[in-house]
Amino acid sequence: MRNPLFDAIYFNNNGYTPIWLMRQAGRYLPEYRQLRAKAGSFLSLCKNVELATAVTLQPLQRFSLDAAIMFSDILVVPEAMGLELDFIANEGPVFKQRITNLNDVVKLDNSQIEVKLDYVFQLIKSCKQQLKPNIPLIGFSGSPFTLACYMLEGRSSKDYLEVKRWVYSNSMALEQLLLKLSDAIITYLKKQVDAGVDALMLFDSWGGVLTPSAYQEYSLKYINKIVSALKQYTLGKNLPLIVFTKGGSNWLQQIAQIQPDVIGLDWTIDIGVARKIITNKIALQGNLDPMILAVGDRASLKREAMQIIDNYKLANNGDISGLVFNLGHGININTKPDNVAYLVDFIHEYSKQ
Amino acid sequence: MRNPLFDAIYFNNNGYTPIWLMRQAGRYLPEYRQLRAKAGSFLSLCKNVELATAVTLQPLQRFSLDAAIMFSDILVVPEAMGLELDFIANEGPVFKQRITNLNDVVKLDNSQIEVKLDYVFQLIKSCKQQLKPNIPLIGFSGSPFTLACYMLEGRSSKDYLEVKRWVYSNSMALEQLLLKLSDAIITYLKKQVDAGVDALMLFDSWGGVLTPSAYQEYSLKYINKIVSALKQYTLGKNLPLIVFTKGGSNWLQQIAQIQPDVIGLDWTIDIGVARKIITNKIALQGNLDPMILAVGDRASLKREAMQIIDNYKLANNGDISGLVFNLGHGININTKPDNVAYLVDFIHEYSKQ
């Protein structure tokens, strides 16, 4: 079935820009916070198929979004490989033990991905049953490098000291870890496809902390491995693969070379400039500064949203095809739902002109 | 008097790449920690001319660095404008009260810059007396936007919620703040010139959190104002102005348009690529990942340092003029002094080849 998201991704100009928002199902919604309280921990919410389905659908009930994204967390993969996880208030996810040496890497078990992450596949099936048929469901995973960052640091990091220790003095072991993660992620994403997702996204939230050559070597190489495997697996289907490296605006040409269907952009690059840099037929997704939805006034929100559409169109010969409107990063917890409603409707209206 | 730093900046090829390191005087040196303990607070160390001079000179005594940078902090300017400062262990600088509205901006007093920051000018004089004549002394300030960030957030920030609130819903007041800061900074830097600095650097540590258009509007515009005023003030002298926006690799063409003498680069761009982008005669400073000095092995350090020189040279027709070797950000507290010694000597040796 045709849908606006796929039309945009495959450059069918239907005079309408689709929009979805990274982390659209989440803490900025009061109805989310209610279900979250019911579930207990964040992780039990992820693992509760019924509640996670409800959370996935919540933003679609409020807003005319053009896609759903399954409600989950990128860290469920390392958890399924044996690293126990805590979600600490005001700090986010923390591993009880971090990876400190090659032996820890060897001990990681990626044979249980299909079994331990079954709740994700059940969630996908459940969402697909409840979603309108023209609303595609996006599955996802963290990139190997981004997952490795969390596993090596144990938690969010300011200076990425441990990750860089491995990059700059333990690269053989790092490669083992990244290979193992790539295999796990490929298994995980294939099972998401089997369960019924319509598109897949790789979140490389931390690739941007690397030098250009280290990004190639330790992040993009493994993203490429995954993209290739999934392309092979979904051959003949239209199942778009979206790649997003936060802080990766410098490296768009390299990312384009691995030929994902869509490249996600953060807000530090003009989307028109990005369109000119990426000359092949790869759709662009982005790239409103998420803070506008949290602390901006209506005038700013409208101006910035217009600029993205205008600049894209100008760079794309007056044509909005190939543009998926989104934020440049996950939605902020302080986001006002009213702003989201306004934005979604505005994008639909404005792109028709 | 000619010196290697100036030769590089003014494109005189003397077959030698000068090196200095952002935050080269600081916490990674045991002799710094001794003086720091003597001084009491960080701020009293900044204000003690004798101790701050000693701290400025410490790295020059250990390493064959080609420039000194005065030991101070960018937040002394808002402090001199009336915002009281605390330096909290493991957190860094915090303002006792942050700027919350236009009235707070109006109350800021930039009439006392020359008087209240006299200790900085005394420090410059004292350093110049003790430095070898061929070692230039670099003075500096934070950029208006970066100082505004601290003043609006009150402290380091993860998501820059308050700054972005002003950008996206209070921009008139933000402009007032940035104008006032620009005036204060111009006064401050002119007095640094009078006191005897040989070069000046503007640290725009947080400009990279903005969108391209907001960067132009709220950061680069005011940096331009300062660069123009200082160029005018130092007309006929060779007093290089260095501009560094962390996270600004996307915007090098725009930064080049304001024509500083040197553009500082963080580690997320290949310096050869940057050289090709910046076609006019502006020197480049950078851009080793500072974490290599903290957690890298010798082989990585050598490889990454070589790559910077090689890539620059290749992009600059085989000529190393116009390159000032530095880090892509301030030195990390975990840096091993031995690594610094090795790097400095390696750059000098290798660039001669």
B88 vs A274, which has greater pLDDT? A274
The mean pLDDT value for A330-341 works out to: 97
Whether residue A295 and residue B249 make contact (CB cut-off 8 A), yes or no, is no
In Å, how far is B250's CA from the nearest CA of chain A? 6
Q: Does A152 touch chain B (CB under 8 A)?
A: no
The mean pLDDT value for A307-335 works out to: 97
Please tell me which of the candidates B169, B292, B300 has its beta carbon nearest to residue A296.
B169
Whether residue B168 and residue A247 make contact (CB cut-off 8 A), yes or no, is no
Instruction: For residue A253, give the 3-state DSSP assignment.
Output: helix
Q: How confident is the model at residue A157, as a pLDDT? A: 80
In Å, how far is B188's CA from the nearest CA of chain A? 31
Instruction: Give the length of chain A.
Output: 353
The rounded distance, in Å, linking the Cα atoms of B135 and B4 is 9
Best residue in B27, B168, B171, B210 for a mutation probing chain A (most A CBs within 10 Å): B168
Q: Is the pLDDT confidence value at B249 over 90?
A: yes
Beta carbons within 8 Å of B221's beta carbon, 6+ residues apart: none
Whether residue A296 and residue B164 make contact (CB cut-off 8 A), yes or no, is yes
**Which residues of chain B have a CB within 8 Å of the CB of A27?**
none
Q: Does A250 touch chain B (CB under 8 A)?
A: yes
Q: How confident is the model at residue A141, as a pLDDT? A: 98
Question: Of chain A residues 214-233, which have a CB less than 8 A from chain B?
Answer: 214
Confidence of residue A92 (pLDDT cuts 50, 70, 90): confident
Whether residue B297 and residue A269 make contact (CB cut-off 8 A), yes or no, is no
Q: Is the pLDDT confidence value at A191 over 70?
A: yes
Instruction: Give the CATH class of A4-352.
Output: alpha beta
Whether residue B165 and residue A247 make contact (CB cut-off 8 A), yes or no, is no
In Å, how far is B174's CA from the nearest CA of chain A? 14
Whether residue B169 and residue A273 make contact (CB cut-off 8 A), yes or no, is no
Q: Which percentage of chain A shows pLDDT scores above 70?
A: 99
**Which residues of chain B have a CB within 8 Å of the CB of A332?**
159, 161
Q: Does A249 touch chain B (CB under 8 A)?
A: yes
Neighbours of A12 (CB within 10 A): 12
* CB–CB contacts below 8 A, A to B: 96
Please tell me which of the candidates A168, A210, A304 has its beta carbon nearest to residue B296.
A168
Q: Does A40 touch chain B (CB under 8 A)?
A: no
Q: What is the 3-state secondary structure (H, E, C) of chain B?
A: CCCHHHHHHCCCCCCCCCECCCCCCCCCCHHHHHHHHHHCCHHHHHHCHHHHHHHHHHHHHHCCCCCEECCCCCCHHHHHCCCCEEEECCCEEEECCCCCCHHHHHHCCCCCHHHHCHHHHHHHHHHHHHCCCCCCEEEEEECHHHHHHHHHHCECCCCCHHHHHHHHHCHHHHHHHHHHHHHHHHHHHHHHHHHCCCEEEEEECCHHHCCHHHHHHHHHHHHHHHHHHHHHHCCCCCCCEEEEECCCHHHHHHHHHCCCCEEECCCCCCHHHHHHHCCCCCEEEEEECCHHHHHCCHHHHHHHHHHHHHHHHHHCCCCCCCEEEEECCCCCCCCCHHHHHHHHHHHHHHHHC
The structural domains of chain A, with segments of one domain joined by +, span: 4-352
The mean pLDDT value for A134-142 works out to: 97
The residue from A28, A32, A36, A66 that is catalytic is A36
The pLDDT tens digits for B211-245 are 999 999 999 999 999 999 999 999 999 999 999 99
Residue B165 among the catalytic residues: no
The mean pLDDT value for A41-59 works out to: 95
Please tell me which of the candidates B160, B212, B291 has its beta carbon nearest to residue A164.
B291
In Å, how far is A126's CA from the nearest CA of chain B? 34
In Å, how far is B248's CA from the nearest CA of chain A? 9
Please state, rounded to an integer, the average pLDDT across all residues of chain A.
Answer: 95
Closest-CA residue of chain A to B158: A158
Q: Is the pLDDT confidence value at A89 over 90?
A: no
The mean pLDDT value for B57-70 works out to: 98
Whether residue B295 and residue A267 make contact (CB cut-off 8 A), yes or no, is no
Q: How confident is the model at residue B282, as a pLDDT? A: 98
Q: Is the pLDDT confidence value at A1 over 60?
A: no
Question: Of chain A residues 157-176, which have a CB less than 8 A from chain B?
Answer: 159-162, 164-165, 167-169
**Which residues of chain A have a CB within 8 Å of the CB of B249?**
250
Residue B155 among the catalytic residues: no
Residue B27 among the catalytic residues: yes
Q: How confident is the model at residue B283, as a pLDDT? A: 98
ipTM: 0.95
Instruction: For residue A69, give the 3-state DSSP assignment.
Output: strand
Best residue in A295, A302, A329 for a mutation probing chain B (most B CBs within 10 Å): A295
**Which residues of chain B have a CB within 8 Å of the CB of A173?**
none
The residue from A7, A28, A66, A150 that is catalytic is A150
The mean pLDDT value for B280-290 works out to: 97
Amino acid at the residue A248: G
The mean pLDDT value for B256-266 works out to: 98
Q: Does A295 touch chain B (CB under 8 A)?
A: yes
Confidence of residue A68 (pLDDT cuts 50, 70, 90): very high
Q: How confident is the model at residue A78, as a pLDDT? A: 97
The mean pLDDT value for B145-156 works out to: 92
**Contact (Cβ atoms closer than 8 angstroms) between residue A112 and residue A80:** yes
